[in-house]
Amino acid sequence: MTTRLNPYLGFRDNAREAMEFYQRVFGGVLTLSTFGEFQASDDPTEQDKIMHAMLSTDDGLVLMGSDTPNRMEYRPGTNYSVSLSGDDDPVLRGYWEKLSAGGTTVMPLSPSPWDDSFGICVDEFGVTWMVNIAAPA
């Protein structure tokens, strides 16, 4: 049996916008389910909020997310990052360009001390991304 680690991102009320952005970055199929569809909230202001979103790509990437119900605390923080790594330079650079556009570059994507290319950016939704492109063998 295979085990996978999938990032799950929490948003206050813009999960749809964020997940549609990530679909433009990575491609793939995006499924969105609202609280209203599953009658998961009695709060009328939450009916269109995203209860669960999942983006799956042909490359095997899976990213999930949801909005936070009003009754739950939402506290964005800096205690997580999403890491993308591999040896497909053009694909990873393409992701970097799209993720960093409109966001903040913390560390430019450039040669690293371990001979790979590495960079850190924070996208327009406040999510920190680390991109590592393996050096050619």
The pLDDT tens digits for 74-128 are 888 776 889 999 999 999 999 999 999 999 999 999 999 899 999 999 999 999 9
The amino acid at 42: D
Tell whether 1 is covered by a domain. no
Alpha helix segments (H runs only) across the chain: 15-26, 89-100
Statement to judge: residues 39 and 16 lie in one domain: yes
Predicted pLDDT at 2: 60
CA distance 35 to 3: 28
Predicted pLDDT at 76: 81
Number of folded domains that form the chain: 2
Tell whether 2 is covered by a domain. no
Predicted TM-score (pTM) of this structure: 0.84
Last residue within a domain, chosen from 44, 67, 90: 67
CA distance 12 to 9: 10
Last residue within a domain, chosen from 23, 43, 67: 67
Tell whether 76 is covered by a domain. no
pLDDT at 3 exceeding the cut of 70? no
Predicted pLDDT at 61: 93
Q: What is the mean pLDDT of the chain?
A: 92
Alpha helix segments (H runs only) across 6-131: 15-26, 89-100
3-state secondary structure (DSSP) of residue 13 = coil
Predicted pLDDT at 130: 93
* Residue range 25-54, pLDDT digits in tens: 999 999 999 999 988 888 899 999 999 999
